[in-house]
Structure 1
Amino acid sequence: MSDLHALLERFRRGPEVVAAATTGAAGPVLDYRPAPEKWSIRQILWHLADSEIAGAMRFRQVIAEDEPTLQAYDQDAWARNLGYERRKFSPALELFRRLRLENHALLSSLPPEAFSRTGRHTETGVVTLLDLLR
């Protein structure tokens, strides 16, 4: 198995790992925050779903455009202003799963050389498609 194939497989399995880790979690367990500045399980899962949305856009920009600008976002502002702590848990997991499945299908369809395509992230600078996958 090539390194790229192994990386894509690990990427594909992400939602399965999260689902297994959160099986049986409910009520106060989902909302427990180990410290005031830390996120709860519910908030983390919504962050994963929204990060997958952002990742989907970034993947597509790098694949389709030449040297696109990849906009950073304020994850804490998203958590706060999108109400992660008030939103239902199961839709976040399903959204994460569906988006990841589609992102995996797209990335798996590309030739290996596509993973060297680049974009310019507004905070971290030049990144390759492979960097985004990692």
Structure 2
Amino acid sequence: MSELADLLERFRRGAELLAIATTGAAGTELDFKPAPDKWSVRQVVCHLADTEAVYVMRIRQVLAEDNPVLKSFNGDAWAERLDYNRRKISHALETFRRLRTDNFDLLKEMPEEAFLRPCTHAEAGPWTLQTLIQNCSEHLEDHVKQIQSVRAAYRETRAKQVAG
């Protein structure tokens, strides 16, 4: 497999990784925070769904426009003002899955040279579409690890409560 094919497969697998990481999470586990300044599983999943919506636009900008500037956004402000604490995780998971599938379906049909199209990230500087897709994959993978860590902390806290 080529490097680009590997990257696209990694991108595609993101929805599966998120589904696996959240399987069985329910009730108080969804809203458990390992620390006051950390996100819960619900908040992380909502963030990923909203971020994937941002990636929908960014990918299309890079494909259709000449060297677009990709604006950044404040994830903490989105979490607060879009009330991630009250959003349904099932809806966020489905939104993420559908948007990631749509993004993948678009990308897999693009010629290899499309992935060299330039853009400029407002904070990170010059990128290509390939860099953007790498960033999307890394972002998801980092948050999957975060979900796993939050769930482990929840189990540890519950075990201490039961034992104590």
Question: 1:11 — aligned with what?
Answer: 11
Percent identity of equivalent pairs: 57
Give the Cα–Cα distance (whole angstroms) in 2 for the partners of residues 60 and 127 of structure 1: 14
Give the Cα–Cα distance (whole angstroms) in 2 for the partners of residues 23 and 75 of structure 1: 24
> After superposition, what is the alpha-carbon deviation per residue over 1:53-103, rounded to whole angstroms, capped at 9, x for unaligned?
111100000000001111111111000100001111100000000000000
Question: 2:144 — aligned with what?
Answer: none
Cα drift, residue 3 of structure 1: 1.2
Cα drift, residue 36 of structure 1: 1.1
- For the pair shown, the structure with the greater C-alpha radius of gyration is 2
Map 1:37-76 → 2, pairs under 5 A: 37-76=37-76
User: After TM superposition, what 4+ stretches of structure 1 lie above 4 angstroms from structure 2?
Assistant: none
**What code does the residue aligned with 1:10 have?**
R
Where in structure 2 are there 5+ consecutive unaligned residues?
135-164
Say what the alpha-carbon RMSD is for the aligned residues.
0.7
Give the Cα–Cα distance (whole angstroms) in 1 for the partners of residues 23 and 122 of structure 2: 36
> After superposition, what is the alpha-carbon deviation per residue over 1:83-125, rounded to whole angstroms, capped at 9, x for unaligned?
0011111000000000000000111111111111111111111
Give the Cα–Cα distance (whole angstroms) in 2 for the partners of residues 3 and 116 of structure 1: 13
Question: 2:158 — aligned with what?
Answer: none
> After superposition, what is the alpha-carbon deviation per residue over 1:9-49, rounded to whole angstroms, capped at 9, x for unaligned?
11111111111111111011001111111100000000110
Map 1:34-113 → 2, pairs under 5 A: 34-113=34-113
Secondary structure class of the residue paired with 2:53 = helix
TM-score (norm 1): 0.97
Q: Please state which structure has a larger fraction of its residues in helix.
A: 2
Cα drift, residue 51 of structure 1: 0.6
Number of matched residues? 134
Where in structure 1 are there 5+ consecutive unaligned residues?
none
The reply to whether residue 20 of structure 1 matches residue 20 of structure 2 is yes
Give the Cα–Cα distance (whole angstroms) in 2 for the partners of residues 76 and 48 of structure 1: 12
**What code does the residue aligned with 1:23 have?**
T
